Structure 1
């Protein structure tokens, strides 16, 4: 059973929208089934871009809508669809966006979820082009094997509010701590939805990992998360630990230009800028571990990349992290251990560096990326080996020693 999530429509934009959209096509989300796609296919629900409206564009079935829209139901029941999440993990909230569906949006929705292994999915026919179509008897028979009507309910039947024509967000908070892989969106009885965003954090099965292969310990898909930053004017730092390669400058972390930069820019004999300011972001690793390689990607940042950067790591318990968040990450300097010293960066390039951990062999739970003086990055990858024990627990002694998985030393 689901562990009693508390759901509800939120009046303002919630913090969870800064997390990854686990259903997006950009991270591998896929629509497996929809009862009807007459006016617009359900695949539109998981598009990565925002919905748009082309007022004068028509199809043979009616207005061209950027979303999922079913025909006006004239038979018993209601419409629904199933999405396999591209990232499997813990769901923090939903956004049911009905932008531009001013007279034909779905008046009510509910959302169910399940944790299924992909190999246990029935053989569901490929959907192909769907406009003007309803689910076939073969599709209905295949999807019935999932018994999705019995899945756990994360959002009970709730009325949707249209808002403004171009901004029809309906947010729902979820507090379940379970891992989910599939979503069923129910609309009652029919109508349209522009986008379904499923915000959360990835959760990886670390026991099944190969101890000899380095993993990206900060990856959003595995459960990494930004837990503090100095500035995110143009893009949140969570984007730099996202899935795949950056698609544009919008798919990265970018700060505003620092107002304390000097009137005249100067550099030292090594070409490093002589500036006093910097920006930073702190990340909680998906799993405590030893970082052996660091990738800093400035792709697409051609005139706005940082001059240089550095990376530090530390060990924090859950309580210490909470305290640091309250203190705006004013952490004593001796807690941080250097993983990458101040290093010059180039625009529009992927940089790969060996971590100082190769010598230190230290387990860390958190990493701090500092960019100097400001600018933007596309991706941060912290590759290494997960530790054999979990560190996010209250400390019993001032100093603790930690081991790493077998196979780490053999890779040095």
Structure 2
């Protein structure tokens, strides 16, 4: 991996909403169901659980390989956007729009809208979409969602480039309604590495039988981590995630406490028998 340069010379302060759950991550079932353009890198990369990577020698048939979503420069009116189906519907408190390694080709501005749909739309993006753009039929199907009229969770806001000290663009939102889908607008185009959507799960309890046993602390049922003493190797919220843990790292693990024992020797001469 190439050495990451800095721009501002100091790291950003992390907001408190980062302790909430990522409701859009692919690990909890989040997926991108529509994107206007994916020429350089597919939109599904936005929801990867792993941090973004940079491979200096990696190229595709369409240009430099980038670990994120990257579109072509607009030559027609409008802007690029995608629809994200949250893995866990819920109330959102904040976003991390990560531009890692997009240091000139990042999207200059973004905005985010949210909607609560009664039914999951029959929109899918299958396979490797690199080098592709939405077809006329896909555009028509997405238009039926009316996403351009969804409530605005984040207004038009500038993004910092993907240098190590400014790649995390944090945005709070005061919208507390239940959200099932997001519309991420890139204004007008460019690249974003990851989108993290931090909030609390809000289950539709009308779909749950009164006789059904439920896990009251589960991520999907509104469980959340309020605080912790140490999360060096894994965040406590991993314990309330979906399904079985993938491996040891997919749980809560703290750093070992170092106990220093000082052995003191006496400089006094011992008696000689």
Q: Which TM-score band applies after superposition, normalised by the shorter structure?
A: 0.7 to 0.9
Q: Find the aligned partners of 1:191 and 1:103 in 2 and give their Cα distance.
A: 9
Partner of residue 289, structure 1: none
Deviations 1:177-236 (A, max 9, x none): 211000000001110000111111101123432222211111012101222434333322
Partner of residue 14, structure 1: 15
Deviations 1:59-85 (A, max 9, x none): 110000000000111111110000000
Matched, 1:169 2:154: no
Matched, 1:129 2:134: no
Aligned length: 252
Partner of residue 101, structure 1: 102
Residues 165 and 61 from structure 1, CA distance in 2 versus in 1: closer, same or farther, beyond 3 angstroms? farther
SS at match of 1:141: helix
Partner of residue 313, structure 1: none
Deviations 1:360-382 (A, max 9, x none): xxxxxxxxxxxxxxxxxxxxxxx
Runs of 4+ in 1 over 4 A off after TM superposition: 259-263
Residues 83 and 197 from structure 1, CA distance in 2 versus in 1: closer, same or farther, beyond 3 angstroms? same
Partner of residue 27, structure 1: 28
Residues 261 and 176 from structure 1, CA distance in 2 versus in 1: closer, same or farther, beyond 3 angstroms? farther
Partner of residue 215, structure 2: 216
Deviations 1:313-370 (A, max 9, x none): xxxxxxxxxxxxxxxxxxxxxxxxxxxxxxxxxxxxxxxxxxxxxxxxxxxxxxxxxx
Contact 1:100 1:166 in 2 (8 A): no
Question: How large is the RMSD of aligned CA atoms in angstroms?
Answer: 2.1
Deviations 1:125-179 (A, max 9, x none): 5443311111100001111100110010010111111252586110001122211
Residues 262 and 206 from structure 1, CA distance in 2 versus in 1: closer, same or farther, beyond 3 angstroms? farther
Contact 2:12 2:165 in 1 (8 A): no
Return the structure number with greater strand share. Answer: 1
SS at match of 1:111: strand
Task: Quote the offset at 1:118 in angstroms.
Answer: 2.6
| TM-score, normalization by structure 2 | 0.86
SS at match of 1:251: coil
Q: Find the aligned partners of 2:191 and 2:65 in 1 and give their Cα distance.
A: 12
Q: Which runs of 5+ in 2 are unaligned?
A: 1-10, 263-273
Contact 1:107 1:160 in 2 (8 A): yes
Q: Which runs of 5+ in 1 are unaligned?
A: 1-9, 264-412
Deviations 1:10-47 (A, max 9, x none): 94111222222111111111111100000001011111
Contact 2:101 2:162 in 1 (8 A): no
Task: Quote the offset at 1:52 in angstroms.
Answer: 0.3
Partner of residue 7, structure 2: none
